[in-house]
Amino acid sequence: MDGSANYFNSLFLICFAALPCCDIDCARLAMRVLFNDIPDLQNCFLICSPGIPLNEPLITVFHPLACNFNTNREKWRGFVAVREQHAKLLHVREARVEDNDDLIPLFNERSSTLRKTFGEYFIAEFVKMQSETMKCIVADVEGVAVGFMSVNANFDPEVTKYFELTSFNELREPHPDDVFYNRNPNDFDQNNQSAYNSDSGPSKNFNSVFRLPEKISKFCIISSLYSLQQIVNTSINIENQSIAISAAIDSQKSNLALSKFENTTDMKMTQNNTSLYLFSMLSQKAHFKGTFYGKHSCVCIELFAIDPKFSQRSCDFLLKIFEMFPHVKYCIISVPHLVPEFSLLQRFSRVTPLLTKHIPHELYVFCSAGILDSLIIRQYVAQDKEPIEQMVVNLKNCHEMLSDLEQFVNYGVDEERNEMSVFVAEVEQQVIGFAILRKEENLEYICSHYELESFIYYHQHRRGGHAQLMHFILNPIFNHYSNYFLRELMRQANKTCFYYYFYNNSMTSISTVIKDLIPIKARRQIQYDFELLSSNAPSKKITCEKQPFAILHVNRKLVLERRTTINARIVVVGASDTAIAFLESLVFTPYLRFNNLTIVSPNGLPGERTPANFRLLLMAYNNCYNWSSFSKMGLKIWVNVVYGKMTAINRQNKMLTVNHRTYVPYDYLILCTGTQYLVTCPIEMDPAGVAKSSAHINTPPGRQFLGHMPRAIFTINDPSDADKLICFLNENFLEKDDRLVVHGNTLDAYCCINGLLCVGLKPSQIVFAISPNEDEVITCFNNADIDCKMMRTLNSILGLTVWRDVTITKWNTGRTKLSLNRVTFKDGKGQSYDVNCKALVLFNYRGVDYNAFEAINCSSLVFDRRMVIDANFRTNDPSIRAAGPLTKYQRMYYSEDWTHSNYNAKEVGYRLASTMMPIFDPNQNFESTTPYNDAVKLIPEFTWPKVQSGVLPGMYNYLHIHKPQQRQQPMKVEVKSPDHGYELLSGSVDDKQIGYFRLHVNCHKLVQTITCFTRKEIKADNLICLYGLHHRFLNNLLGRWFEGLITDLYSYFSQPWAMLLYHDRFPLLREEVREVIVNQYIDVRKTLNEFIERVMDDNFLMMEKDKKLLSKKFQESGLDKMTKEKLAKFITHNHPQLPMYIRPIRE
């Protein structure tokens, strides 16, 4: 060895195993892949203990070291494998004309556009055009050119006006007069306000700039920024926050400063920018902007291509670039959004665009100082305090980081007595980053509440090998070394797993390493009856109540795995449960990282508001998500948020208009606005609010009111609407006797009445005007017992005024037309009902918001009462998908009654993501993975149950779980059906102690419907797990019921034996057991599945003798024993959550 080996460029082989038949080939291949995938790796060492011979496969790839290691008088032997022996080295040199013949096939394999445009010898033409400012570089292997790069120093300085480049000194050389100064935010706002108020929209030449043919754009051929002046008048980019970290570094000094810009337009926005997320940490009080006077020092890559076999060595070009341009500090690449990330970009830093302009490209920057032979990671010393303070002085959570640092310096442990450690990264004796760690002690909680075991085997890691990543700061020009920083932290701190907690309203301090961390999905929790379980309940370490948080993770295995970066701009309109499920599915794909996810919603991401009792009581819920689950997802890390409503879609330029004034560019647009309760026009008023004379025809129901809206008319579609109503009531109702009208017939209307009573309104102040049902027989409960109980509660017990089957005909406003004085209703018999009121809450009609309809219709997207889609969620525009209640299927499917509103919204969102994933996932073939073939004309099947829940007047908890279905039939009709199955009823609606529980088991003995009505707490998450289970899973439910052994279904399903059914991994156990059983051979030639198919008749029934034969075969085949073993193994593995079960003793 020449002494160049260090931790930066070396790894150690710990374990190697291969089949004897191919062990030598496996060893060689493993070494080749290792060196190809880790560009900085130069050496792989193997330390062999004394007395153990090196086997033949390893002898072929490793060579002995000259020195020995003496430990305890025993000689250890060292071996090494070096890069030159296993990976071909690239020779990077200046291009020659004769390289044309080698390189032309490389380009033609991927696209013929350049050849058709410039001829057969365009590479030779590029080489001939070389000058002092334009150079062509070639990488060859054994004399054959395998890569080409064209670099130009004549880049357009206008680029600094379109991207936030203060991080890189605006691509200038360091200058003595360079300063960072406090900037008045008002100056920034005044200079840019005109851009936000512009109505000009996208420029005419928007699509003519930076556009490459599709085939080329999928390869590493990069357009330069040479003609940037063409796009001066492009449209507005609404990203309103950006970061600036000075990365000027030379032999004398290194600066680190940060800046932030904000706008004060009506439309708010937050941005995630996973590569530089520090914007959220910056101070709200001060705005910093750098002023630089140095000469521009930058080159841009115009054309780049390399053989895929050598793509990981693309970084070899960078050293040659700065050798050919020794005066240059920076190199930039502009990449179209739809170009997949290639290996060269892994060395570059992605730059945040400025908010005033839109460029349809991503910009990447690399600094010459980022080429390192060694990066020192060491423990903190006292002299590091000053440079660390300078690094974080402008961060919003600066005090928190410095406080944690001070805590470590003074005590070495945190306030909970957990061990702390601090490490710094150093280049040329300059501190460029630091990390603060804390020993992780909440391991039981993390493992039981998050799907951590999808990434690690918990029992294979030492308890002391887990640590919490409290803070991680790294200079952006060294951002590509964050992965190495993590590896060294693990080695020096003797840790194998890192975790980072992200609380919903907190500031993050790990932006420069967030690309190397993987979000961990939260697990569904069992709702235990602790009083019943007593000492058999799980440990308090698992069941304790903690503030919910999202968790990011990396371990020693994942730290060397690269995630594929997707820069496609995916814009989701609407924050419905379907939209959230779609985003959740993308974000939690562990091997993909989406840089440009955006959601457009008037109230931002759900879950941003802390839960409040009154707010939750004013509306019903579908149990897809709650505040805790939103907090555990941490979507605000990965998703940009635009506050506003979609008002137009420019399909030609792929631009979404928000609030009539701001433009959001997209590559793929996802419409999930759903349906909302709308303020409908009274039948005796036109949509503009003008009362009609009796000669006019009444306005049809469902027409949205578009006139001047009285501020006392409300609809409640989300928690923010509930907050507005509560605020109005606090100001105008609580100390007065004015009346309020609730109009509608849905579950939300009943829940709202209960919420109003809880807020403090008197029953005499509330009028409940029940609107007619579309089906005169079916109510929102579809249960006569609950209907009667609700009417008795409202009329007799609470004393509310209730009018049934009435329609609103008109309202009277005050002088300003903003207040409400009187509302008139009319029933089916023509009788009028007048009420003097000061507020009206409407739940009588759900429909598509008018702004959304206008945007869809005016953009020529097919709209037929709902937005029309096919089985794969596609609209008539290939770049636009839609899902949820907003949509309906094309008429060619003959499925008018089957819409997404019939299904579980969460399942629809997951299915939407799965159909789009082949577009982004390089491991999937889009052509072969399309879920539903257009030629089949079948709509997708959804199986998850629909759930409704809420708190009804009288403080009754209500839960209804049922299967997806076309049209709901009256329960009286369903019960009389010959194939209805079994009805299990316990308690009654008048039972104040137990309550009412209805369980419907269908003719196949599967649980199909669950209805609960009680004043006790309903463990809804548990009961949802019962849907679709056979009664045998429920401890032989039907047999026990008909024997009279069950009198209270609430207590029956709360017993310890049932906890296994509620475990989040129980469906996986069922699937695993089923897969083994149906494929097991119970006869010489027949599997169990084939045997059943043979003995069944045309009516899918089985003779009694065949049942006995099947049972005998099942016992003889050993399937019974195998099933029990799998169950026992499952209980043992998940014993922390299931301590009430006896674990089998291992023999």
Return phi, psi of residue 671, to 5°. -100, 110
Q: Residue 932: its pLDDT value, please?
A: 61
Average pLDDT of span 389-406: 89
> Could you report the per-residue pLDDT of 1114-1142, keeping only the tens digit for each?
777 778 888 889 999 999 999 999 999 99
pLDDT tens per residue, range 550-572: 999 999 999 988 889 999 999 99
Phi, psi of 64 (to 5 degrees): -70, 145
Residue with tokens 């660390």: 388
pLDDT at 204 over 60: no
* Whole-angstrom distance, CA of residue 911 vs CA of residue 595: 21
Closest among 553, 558, 378 to 466, alpha carbons compared: 553
Single pTM value for the model: 0.88
> Exposed, middle or buried by CB within 10 Å (0-12, 13-18, 19+), for 765?
buried
Comparing 487-496, 802-811, 1100-1109, the range with the smallest average pLDDT is: 1100-1109
**To the nearest whole percent, how much of the chain has pLDDT over 70?**
85
**121 or 664, which is more confident:** 664
912 and 961: one domain? no
Nearest alpha carbon to residue 822 among 677, 676, 691: 691
Percent of the chain surpassing pLDDT 90: 56
Domain boundary among 814, 846, 878: 846
Minimal CA–CA distance to 272: which of 583, 674, 578? Answer: 583
Query: Which residue in the block uniquely carries the two structure tokens 């005590």?
Result: 411
- Percent helix / strand / coil, the chain, rounded to 5: 30, 25, 45
Least confident residue range of 102-116, 251-265, 431-445, 631-645: 251-265
Q: What is the pLDDT of residue 155?
A: 82
Within a domain: 139:
no
Q: Is 273 domain-assigned?
A: yes
* Polymer length in residues for the chain: 1147
- Smallest CA-to-CA distance from 705 within 731, 727, 684, 722 is with 684
In a domain, 140, yes or no: no
In a domain, 555, yes or no: yes
Q: Quick one: pLDDT at residue 293?
A: 85
Together in a domain, 386 and 477: yes
Domain-terminating residue out of 86, 102, 125 = 86
Residue 648 lies in a domain: yes
> Does residue 24 sit within a domain?
yes
Same domain, 1084 and 1047: no
Whether pLDDT at 942 is above 50: yes
Within a domain: 200: yes
How many domains in the chain?
A: 7
Q: What pLDDT score does 182 carry?
A: 43
Write the single-letter amino acid at 559.
Answer: V
Predicted pLDDT of residue 21: 87
Average pLDDT over residues 112-136: 84
- Assign residue 689 the CATH number of its domain: 3.50.50.60
Quote the pLDDT of residue 36.
87
Window from 212-226, 279-293, 388-402, 708-722 with minimum mean pLDDT: 212-226
Asked if the structure places residue 108 within a domain, the reply is no
- As a whole number, mean pLDDT of residues 807-824 equals 84
pLDDT at 700 over 70: no
> Which domain, by its residues, includes 968?
946-1055
Q: Which of 209-223, 503-517, 930-944, 1078-1092 has the lowest mean pLDDT?
A: 209-223
Residue 356 pLDDT: 58
Residues 239 and 283 in one domain: yes
Whether 198 has a pLDDT exceeding 90, the answer reads: no
Given this model, what pLDDT does residue 1099 score? 59
Q: For residue 245, which amino acid is it?
A: I
| 918 has pLDDT over 70 | yes
93-109: pLDDT as tens digits: 999 999 888 888 888 87
Higher pLDDT, 59 or 112: 59
pLDDT at 261: 26
* Same domain flag for 165 and 305: yes
Q: Are residues 743 and 882 in the same domain?
A: no
